[in-house]
Structure 1
Amino acid sequence: MADKSTDLEHSHEPEDVRDRLEGEHEHSYLGDAVLGAIDGAVTTFAVVSGVAGGGLAGGVAVLLGFANLLADGFSMAVSNYESTASTQQMVERRRRQEQRHIEHAPEGEREEIRQIFKRKGFEGDLLERIVDTITDDRELWINTMLSEEYGLQLEGPSPWKAAATTFVAFLVIGFLPLLPFLLTGLSPEQTFIGSAAVTGVTFLGIGLLKGYVTEEPLWRSGLTTLLAGGGAATLAYLTGSWLRQFVETI
């Protein structure tokens, strides 16, 4: 039989499998980058669309756009940090809880391990050996309870890295819709069209990159992101147009 291992993403030799499982797992921050990039572009272009729909000067778009970049970008980063940190705190709280239960009700905790692996199809002497093996190692015992009973991920991403990734992506991508406003010699209509074009290409590029990394169909990933961002921008433009009649009466 032909060896097809070269077609796979990694080797399944025993020593390679052992090294892979025992090594540190690298967490992907792609989701944080995509979230920050999309929200940055949407937020900034929403300001641009609202200003254009309201018939306001381009300088207002630049002023509000930069203010939103810093304020909303920082807010998103803080929110992402708190969310990631809260997950880690939940894991630690459950870990302390399981430590306390094992100390005060070890037989009950052994029975939980027994029931968990019984549901997986193990029984008899093999089931009891599994229970004995796991409960002989306190850390393994606790980790098994955390992952099997509560469904918790034991190794999570760094809250600081997640927050920083979101913030940088928000600032860099969110700045792009403002570029046409920094050019001279353009009419307000040309500036808005240029900003819309830059933003559309940005949305499409984010979607294509996401699709490439996650191995999704590129056209579907790109189109989905483009439509989502375009929908938010359209809503902002219509809102600005609708509010314009009220602004003019003030």
Structure 2
Amino acid sequence: MKKPSLETLYREHQPEAIKKRLNHKNEPQTISDAVLGGIDGCVTTFAIVAGAVGAGFSASVALIMGFANLFADGFSMAVSNYEAIKAQREFREQARRMEEEHIDKVPAGEREEIRQLFSRKGFSGSILEAIVTTISQDRQLWVETMLIEEHGLQTVELNPTRSAAVTFTTFLIAGAIPLLPLFFTSLGIQRQFFLSTALAAAVFFSIGMLKSLVFAQPLLRAGLGTLLTGGAAAALAYLTGYLLRYVFGIE
């Protein structure tokens, strides 16, 4: 996300621009799902390639294991993400029902909670009482305020199906890339591994760059940070396979 100029900031903070922006419904972002799926997909398959090469297995074995894990782990991660987001939504609905029940049964106590919540923000006296009165006069606003201020729940709800689909898709795309050199059997296992390493490094760096563009982070640092994270996982897999190769006497 490119930082706006001072002129742009001034234009965006005019009354009409603010009103338009606030009236626009916030859409849930899926960049975190894409980053999660991309990194984990690439780490999963390249770790298998590195571990297989370290153990002295053939490219065909690494390819079979890689694609088997690609689809199985991708589906597992998508389902896990779906269930996690679904659980968050269910928790939010449970908290909503609880707050609505409390407002019905102990409205004075709920108003006191509003009073203390905004008192902690520095409001006091007649201003504080005006806030309490205003919020408690609108039932929906009252409930939403309690969900945000007391329970710390976000107002924008994620779509579990959409998040799962994004995670699964990026997992498959990023995870398939390190496996591509293994199809070229004429290259030899060492060249295949070198190309797989280069492609995996490019994927990790690209994901880091994507994060930097979205979150306005330094481009090189974000790319290298993700590259080092993925590279560490791959190096661990390679060393594990290499050591176990000698432990079990695999030729």
TM-score normalised according to structure 2 size: 0.94
Say if 2:62 is the partner of 1:75: no
Give the Å deviation of 1:249.
Answer: 6.2
- Tell me, yes or no, if the aligned pair for 1:91 and 1:154 is still in contact at 8 Å: no
Letter in 2 for 1:19: K
The corresponding residue for 1:135 is 136
Tell me, yes or no, if the aligned pair for 1:84 and 1:158 is still in contact at 8 Å: yes
Residues 153 and 173 (structure 1), Cα distance of their counterparts in 2 relative to 1, 3 Å cut: same
- The secondary structure found in structure 2 opposite 1:212 is helix
Partner of 1:22: 23
Identity %: 51
**Structure 1 position 5, deviation (Å):** 5.3
Please give the alpha-carbon distance, in whole angstroms, between the structure 2 residues aligned to 1:243 and 1:133.
Answer: 68
Q: CA deviation at 1:10?
A: 6.3
Q: How many positions carry a matched residue from both structures?
A: 247
Which stretches in structure 1 are left out of the alignment for 5+ residues? none
> 1:180 is aligned with what amino acid?
P
Instruction: Compute the displacement of 1:246 (Å).
Output: 4.1
Deviation at 1:234, TM superposition (A): 0.5
Say whether the 8 Å CA contact 2:27–2:156 is kept in structure 1: no
- Judge conservation of contact 2:59–2:185 (CA < 8 Å) in 1: no
**Other structure's SS at 2:243 match:** helix
Post-superposition Cα deviations, 1:31-66, rounded to whole Å, max 9, x if no partner, equal 110111011000000000111011011100110000
Please tell me whether residue 38 in structure 1 is matched to residue 34 in structure 2: no
Tell whether 2:117 aligns with 1:116: yes
Q: Offset of 1:121 from its aligned partner?
A: 2.0
Summarize deviations over 1:115-159 as a string: whole Å, max 9, x none: 112222222222222111111111100111110111111222111
8 A Cα contact 1:5 1:11, kept in partner: no
After TM superposition, where is structure 1 displaced by more than 3 Å over at least 4 residues in a row? 246-250
1:165-224 deviation per Cα after TM superposition (whole angstroms, max 9, x unaligned):
110000001000011011242111111111111111111111112112211111111111
One-letter identity of the residue aligned with 1:6: E
Letter in 1 for 2:8: D
Aligned 1:181-200 pairs, distance under 5 A: 181-200=182-201
Check 1:9–1:65 CA distance in 2 against 1; reply closer, same or farther (3 A cut).
farther
Which structure 2 residues correspond to residues 1-250 of structure 1 after superposition, within 5 A? 6-8=7-9, 11-248=12-249
